Structures are given as C-alpha cells and as structure tokens.
Chains A and B, each alone.
Chain A
Amino acid sequence: MLFQQSILCFIAGLACGAGFLVISSKSPVHSVLSLIFSFVLCSFVLLTLEIDILALIFLIVYVGAIAILFLFVVMILNVKVAEARANLFQYFPLGFFLLSLLYFDLGLLMPASFSVDVAHFIPFYLEWPKAVLSFGCLESIGFLLYTYFPFYLIGAGLLLLLAIVGAILLTLHRGVGVHRQEVSFQNRRDWVEVLHMVQ
C-alpha cells in the first residue's frame, strides 16, 4: 500500500512539474511536448488508481487528438521564440489572490471528511455469483450513459457538430471568382466535341 502511494505521489508530482514546464518554456513546441508528457502522466495516475477505462480514453483523446491538433497548429504557424518581458510585480495582487485561494482550498480539502472508504469493506474472498453477474467498469458506464443520460450524449454530439461547423466557417475561404474542378462535369464531357482539327 505504501509502495503504491509513493508511486502515485511521484507520478502526480511529475505531472505538476510537466505542467510548470508547459507555462515556463520559451518555445511553443517545447510547451506542447511537455503538455503531452503531463497528459500521459495524468493518465498514469488514473491507471494507478484503477480507473482504467477513463485512463485509456484520456490517453487516446488527449494525446491522440488534442495534442496532435496543437502540434499541427504549431507547425502551420511560424511561431518565433519570444522573450517574456513582463514586469512580474504588476501581477502581485492577482497572484496573491490566487495563492490564497489555493491555500484555502488545500486547507479545506485535506482535513475534510470524505468518510466513506469503500476499500476497507471489500472482503478478500471471491463471491462467484457476484463476479459473474456484476457489471464491469465499461458495462456500468455504458449502462448509465445510454439508459439514464442519452440526452447528454446527444448534447455532446451537437457540441462536436458545432465545433466542426465553427472551425470550417472560420478557416475556409470560399472565394467567389475561384475556378474549381467539377468532377462530374469533366467526366460528362465528350472528347469529340472538345477536340478540333486545326487546318
């Protein structure tokens, strides 16, 4: 138990360090790479906590989709390495406010009584009927999502549709005088009418 906890602490601390690297590194490529590192570490945290399905989904979506999107944009844009020339003292009140918020958060969260610690009550022998009939993680998530919350699923689908429409609307230029290739028109053309014999 202590071994697992110490590993968990180590991974979570590493994730924090990667997050700090994200906002402190000078080149955006480096910060995207540290972002990927921190995604992977967070997924490890979940894996250690035995929320395995969510860990795998995080790995796939965050690293496979979002981070790749960021890397694409870094490649498209010609981003120069810029020096920070902020006067850090001007942020002192805001930073103080945020830090105090953090402090209160931790002070309230750590001694708070999340009283139910389920792991103590699980007996260590195997109940066969329970093992056969019970749902696994994936089944229970699917059961909840498709039976009780189908409207959320539809809402999330609408959100992704909106993302597609919005991204296309913002970035696609439909020029008026641009000649485009019309494939069907091209296929319909008869070469006999097009070719002329030049005397």
Chain B
Amino acid sequence: MFPFSVHSRFSYFSFFSNDLVSLLPEIFLVCCICLFLVHGVVFSKTGRILSTNVANLSILALVFVCILLCCSPGGNYLAAYSCFFEDDFIRIIKVFLLLTCIFCVTLSLFYIQLEKSNTFEYSVLLLISLFGIIAVLGANDFLSLYLGLELQALSFYTLAANVRVSEFATEAGLKYFVIGAVASGFYLFGASLLYGFTGCVRFSDFSLLLSHIAPAEVEGIFLAFFIFFSSFLFKVGAVPFHAWVPDVYEGTSLNVTAIFALLPKLALFGVITRLLFCYFFSLFDVWQFPFVLCAVFSFVWGSLAALGQGRIKRLLAYGGISHSGYLLFGVCSGTVYGAQGVVIYLLSYILSGVTIFCSLVGLRFSRVRYIADFAGLSLFSPGVAFAIAASLLSAAGIPPVVGFFGKLSIFLSALAGSLYVGALFGVLCSVISTFYYLRILRTIFFENGSRPLGAFFSFFGSYFSKELSFLVGFCAVLLFWIPINPRILFFISFYSSIGLIG
C-alpha cells in the first residue's frame, strides 16, 4: 500500500514517512502557497503586474496536486497520528474539488484581466482556502475540522471584500464575517459540549462510543450534536440559517460569487455526508427528522423566493439554497443510494454552476444584472445562449441534461428511505423552480429587449478569452454528453459511496 515507506531501517521514522506519503498533495500545496507568496512579494517591488502570472502558476500547482492525488496510495488510512483520514470517497471529492478550483482560477484570470486589478494575493488566498477545504474533507478530529473551516472562512471573508472601493463588496464581506463567526462559535460550543460529555475528540472514537452506549443514557449528546451541526447548516445556507446567502452573493464580484457558490458546497456536503454516515449514524433516529425538515423548508423557500427575483445573482442564490436543500434531503435518506445521489447531484451542480458563471463573467461588459437584460442574447451570441440554456435546464432537472440524474437519484434514494412526503414536496418544488428557469430561457430566446444587447457585442467583438470559451463549451457539451453515456457517472458515484460505507 505504501510504495516507498522505510519501515525496515528507520523504524522510528515510519510514522512520519507514512505521513509524508499520505499527505504529500497537501504538503505540496502548502509549499506552493508559501513559494507564491514570496514570489509575489519579491517581484511586486519592481512594479510588475503579477496577478496573471501568479494565477497561471497556481493553475499549474493545482494540476500537479491533482496528479499527486491520483497517484496516492489507495485504501483507507489514518495519517498524522489519526488527525486526518482518507478513503475513496474523500479522494474522489478532492479530485472534483481541485478540478473546480482550476475552473475557478481560470474564470478569475479572465475577470482579473478584464478589470485590470493588480492583486496577486487573490490566487494565493484561493489556494489557502482550497487547502482549508481539503483539510475539512479529510478531518478526523474536531480540531483539524475547525482549523480547516477557519482557513477556508478567513480567506473567504478577505476574498469577498477584495474589491476595496466597492461598498457592496465590503458590506458583503462584513455580513459574511459576522455570520461565519457565529457559525464557528456554534461549532466550537457544540464540539466542546460533545467533548465534555464523552471525552472524545476523534470522530472515529465517536462512532465506536455511540454504537456501544445507548444514547438515551447521555441526553446532553443530542443537544450538543444539534448545536454542532447547526454550524454546518449555517455554512451551506440551509433554511433556518439562510438569510445571508442572497446578500453575500449579490454584493461580491462575479468571480468570487462563483467560488462561494461552488467550492464550499462540494466540501461541506462531502464532510456532512461522511460525518452523518460514518460517525454519527447511531443517532440516525434522532437526526433524521430535524434534518428532513430543514431540507424540505430549504427547497420550498428557495423555490418560492426565487419566483419574485429580477436580479440574476439573487436568483442564483435562491437556487443555491434550494440545491443545498435537495442535497441535505439526499443525505437524510440514510441509505447508500443517498450518498450516491449526493455525489451525482454535486457533480451536476458543479458542471452547471461552472457553465453559468463562466457565461456571466464573459457577458460582463454588457452589464447583465437583471434577467430582462438577457433579451436578444440568442440572436447575437447563440453559443453562449446555448450554454446558459444547458446549465439552467440542468439546474431545473429537465430530462436530457445531467441535472435530471442528480434529482432522480436523490428522489429515488428518498423513496428507498421511505421519505414519501418529503419526496412529493421535492418534486413539486422542482416543478416550481422549472417555471422561473424557463422564464429566463424565454427571455433569452424569444424576446427582443428594449436595450440592444447586440450593440455591445458587435462593438467589442468576441471577448470571451480562449480558455473561458473552452471552459464554457467543454462544460456545456459535458452536460449533454454525460446523459448519453451515464455509465461513468454512475460508476464514480457508486465507487465513492461504497468507499464511504466500507
């Protein structure tokens, strides 16, 4: 399993050597972060514009990390004195995370060149947050999970307020900060109560402990568990704790919104699935009903509130709330199919999200803020119109696109877990959400707006950069290609869910 471990000769080094082998991608990432920071600081003194340079370097580093991750020794293992855990589920989510991060950096690269902003720290912060997210995914401990969450959250606060002169951006940053601080306070409070009641900090210890005691003996564990998990609901924006999501999405610049929408959802749902399925599954009877309630309210609220929205970013935010509701619903089913459904749904969410955010960034010159601004897009730029249509159809879950498989597997797993009423609500809400997604499509394809969008297009010509147009095309084609041959999707998701259970 460990190809170059040195057990025989340096036996007392074996811990560290195994740690080095198993944590090699993360260690490489941290080294790259420090190196890029030094590089940026040294060369920015000479007055060069470094933002493009560092962004390209970070794409290179991410590709290397991805390769290292794919070459890592397989199997389940604990690393670093059982602070970090790794199995196939985590590895697959990590690979998705790295690919998404590469997409986000590419998108931001275009945005940076467009806005001519000279902050090389942007890419460095993104890499630090990625490291935090990876630590969150692999955490086997309250402390490593907390450190990862804080690394991610602190760099996100900074990224949100990155455009210093915009009052919207700083306000969004402050709001995000306050909410994130409350969430981490709840996390710590719940974790400390769990620690106080049981004396365990490792999650694997919890799974052992909870399977051997009757949970009713220690009632405080329930309360501590819910306080602990409410912080995760805060972070994914599920319904009782959702109020910050639209404000933060609207206030930040587009590239940062893309990062906020895509990266944390992947990681947090990975870790929620792992915690609930592997470590706190003995409390299934306790957590199922409240979380189902949260999930149902999330997608009902997300679908209903999005109906009245005129701004595209707010609409995407409410869409994000309902997506996290569906994902949570899949987790709540408590079956292997639920975990598989979560992975499929996450994949389709990422694909459609990358497509729509890349298209919006590309349309930035024409100041598309409201849905009505999309009018006449299909006449002047049919490719982009096609890509946006594909991603919206996928988000709505209409059959020929990959999003359909996500919703289908979530609902099937809910039926397998006999959550019939919730599944009924889910289907109804996805019908409602189809309505407003189709309204955007009608605006794109069948309306000629009062404001001629085409004037901007013909004036500036095509200003999608090569990378961005490749990205949009690739993801849009993938959205249609995966349903033609869904075998690989099902294989990956099944493999990862088996890795989660076994």
Chain A interface residues (CB < 8 Å from chain B): 101, 104-105, 108-109, 112, 114, 148-152, 154-156, 158-159, 161-163, 165-166, 168-170, 173-174
A-B contact pairs, 22 of them (CB 8 A): A105-B223, A112-B218, A149-B81, A149-B143, A150-B80, A151-B80, A151-B144, A152-B143, A152-B147, A155-B135, A155-B148, A155-B151, A158-B151, A162-B151, A162-B154, A165-B37, A165-B125, A165-B158, A169-B121, A169-B125, A169-B162, A170-B158
- Residues of chain A contacted by B220 (CB below 8 angstroms): 108-109, 112
Which chain B residue shows the least CB distance to A104?
Answer: B223
Q: Which of B125, B144, B154, B157 contacts A155 (CB 8 A)?
A: B144
Residues of B close to A155: CB separation below 8 A = 135, 144, 147-148, 151
Asked if B56 is at the interface (CB within 8 A of a chain A CB), the reply is no
Q: Choose one: A152, A162, A173; the contact of B128 (CB below 8 Å).
A: A162
Q: Is B218 a contact partner of A166 (Cβ separation < 8 A)?
A: no
In contact, B131 and A158 (Cβ under 8 angstroms): yes
Given contacts A112-B197, A155-B147, A159-B150, contact A166 B125 (CB under 8 A): yes
The answer to the question of B124 belonging to the interface, with a C-beta cut-off of 8 Å to chain A, is yes
- The count of residues in chain B whose C-beta lies closer than 8 Å to any C-beta of chain A is 38
B131-183: which have CB < 8 Å to A?
131, 135, 143-144, 147-148, 150-151, 154-155, 157-158, 161-162, 164
Q: Is the CB of A114 within 8 A of B196?
A: yes
Give the Cβ gap from B152 to chain A, nearest Cβ, in Å: 10
Judge if B118 is at the interface, Cβ distance under 8 Å: yes
B119 CB within 8 Å of chain A: yes
Which residues in A have their C-beta under 8 angstroms from that of B440?
Answer: none
How close is A184's CB to chain B, nearest CB, in angstroms? 11
4 further A-B contacts with Cβ under 8 Å, apart from A114-B196, A158-B30, A165-B121, are A155-B144, A166-B154, A169-B158, A174-B118
* Cα–Cα distance between A148 and B151 once the two chains are bound (Å): 21
| Cβ of B305 under 8 Å from chain A | no
Residue in chain B with minimal CB distance to A182: B45
In the bound complex, residues from chain A placing their C-beta under 8 Å from that of B154 are 159, 162-163, 166
Map CB proximity to A onto B38-70 as digits: 1 under 8 Å, 0 otherwise: 000000000000000000000000000000000
Residue of B81, B84, B124, B150 touching A165 (CB-CB under 8 A):
B124
Asked if residues A159 and B162 are in contact (CB atoms below 8 Å), the reply is no
B368 within 8 A of A: no
Is residue B115 within 8 Å, beta carbon to beta carbon, of the partner chain? no
CB pair A159 B219 closer than 8 Å: no
Contacts of B218 in A (CB 8 A): 112
Task: Assess whether B37 is in contact with A154, with CB atoms less than 8 Å apart.
Answer: no
Residue of chain B at shortest CB distance from A171: B164
Inside 8 A of A152's CB, which chain B residues have their CB? 83, 143-144, 147
Residues A162 and B155 in contact, CB atoms below 8 Å apart: yes
Separation of A192 and B296 alpha carbons in the complex (Å)? 81
Residue from A101, A158, A163, A173 having most chain B Cβ neighbours under 10 A: A158
CA distance A182 to B110 in the complex (A): 33
Neighbouring B residues of A114 by C-beta, 8 Å:
196
On whether A169 and B119 interact (CB within 8 A), knowing A148-B81, A155-B147, the answer reads yes
Q: How far is the CB of B85 from chain A (nearest CB, A)?
A: 13
In the complex, what distance in Å separates the CA atom of A161 from the CA atom of B83? Answer: 22
By the criterion CB–CB under 8 Å, are B83 and A151 in contact?
yes
Among A155, A158, A161: residue with most chain B CB under 10 A: A155
Chain B CB within 10 Å — which of A104, A114, A152, A165 has the most? A165
